Amino acid sequence: MKFIKQFLGDVKNSFYNPVFYSKLKNRTLGSGVKNILFLNFVVGSILTLIIVAFTVPAFKDFQEKKYVETYYPQELTVRIKDGVASTTVSDPYFVRVSAYHKSDNPQIQNYLVINTQKDVSLDTIASYQSYVVLTRESVIVRESLHESRTYLLKSVKDLVISKANVSMWEKEITSILKKFAVLIALLFLVMFMLGATAYWLFIMLFWAYVPLLVARLQKKKLTYTESYKTGLYAIIPVILLSVVFMIFGISIGGLTSLLVFSLILVLNIGKEESEVSEPVHTD
């Protein structure tokens, strides 16, 4: 409980409290690392809950409506052998956008188009207006209105995609998800917490020079280690703002993050003389 109380105080003070920042050099490096680790645990927990809240209803809907059984064409079998695709249907073959699942993009008319003939031109592929196009030696996936990505099939040795196989895969995946749903969620949380923490600790190796520069401009002395520790607290508002924007589907980018980080430091370093002192824990 004591740690939680201190953590919440650190989060609040990390936005603006010059006295707090002036005393951070007395803290241990481990204190700052623990804060970042716990912050990423909290953020990871929130993201995990959001993902679960969206995926569980979608998963249940997928099961109840039996999409594979209903929508997968009975006559369609695709075989990829040594990186070359062939089918049991005539080329080109269209799986059109359903009237019940209209695309947000009016230019998209098909879920999938298959054309395994030789020498299919790019103009022909573009004219298909499809999310996915399977050609003789590649899969082309539309990622946005004007961008597509091509994946070559050369690494595929032998794969058969049929309605029976897809149904079997669906049942196996469903069984795995049901058995290990909690474990998968916990694994995601742990990977996010450790990965995000490692990322910010690494970034701080370079960003630690910003507190040094700001302190020098304010005629204050900081060592690199003290600057690194200071940066671990100034990065808290950046992480929180990044998460808020990410929830709304907006990426603030590395440069914007660095500018916010720098602004926090400019507002807090060298301004402590006019502030009322607050106690700072040193672990």
Domain count, the chain: 2
pLDDT at 248 over 50: yes
Q: What is the pLDDT of residue 227?
A: 93
3-state SS class at 88: coil
Q: Which helix (H) or strand (E) holds 136?
A: none
Domain region containing 145? 77-161
Q: How far apart are the C-alpha atoms of 255 and 248, rounded to whole Å?
A: 19
Residue 98: predicted pLDDT: 67
- Residue type for 65, please? K
Q: Give the separation between CA 51 and CA 249, rounded to whole angstroms.
A: 13
Helix (H) or strand (E) holding 149: strand 148-152
Q: Which of 20, 44, 42 is nearest to 229 (CA)?
A: 20
With a cut of 80, say whether residue 143 has pLDDT above it: no
In a domain, 283, yes or no: no
Is the predicted pLDDT of residue 135 greater than 50, yes or no?
A: yes
CA dist 276 and 280 (Å) reads 13
Which one is predicted more confidently, 121 or 44? Answer: 44
Are 156 and 181 found together in one domain? no
Residue pair 235/15 in contact (Cβ under 8 Å)? The answer is no
- Given 130, 161, 192, the domain boundary residue is 161
pLDDT of residue 194: 95
pLDDT-derived band of residue 35, with 50, 70 and 90 as boundaries? very high
Same domain, 182 and 270: yes
Residue 277 identity (one-letter amino acid): S
Does residue 266 share a domain with residue 189?
A: yes
- Out of 29-38, 130-139, 191-200, which region has the weakest mean confidence (pLDDT)? 130-139
Instruction: Assess whether 184 and 152 both reside in one domain.
Output: no
* 231 in a structural domain: yes
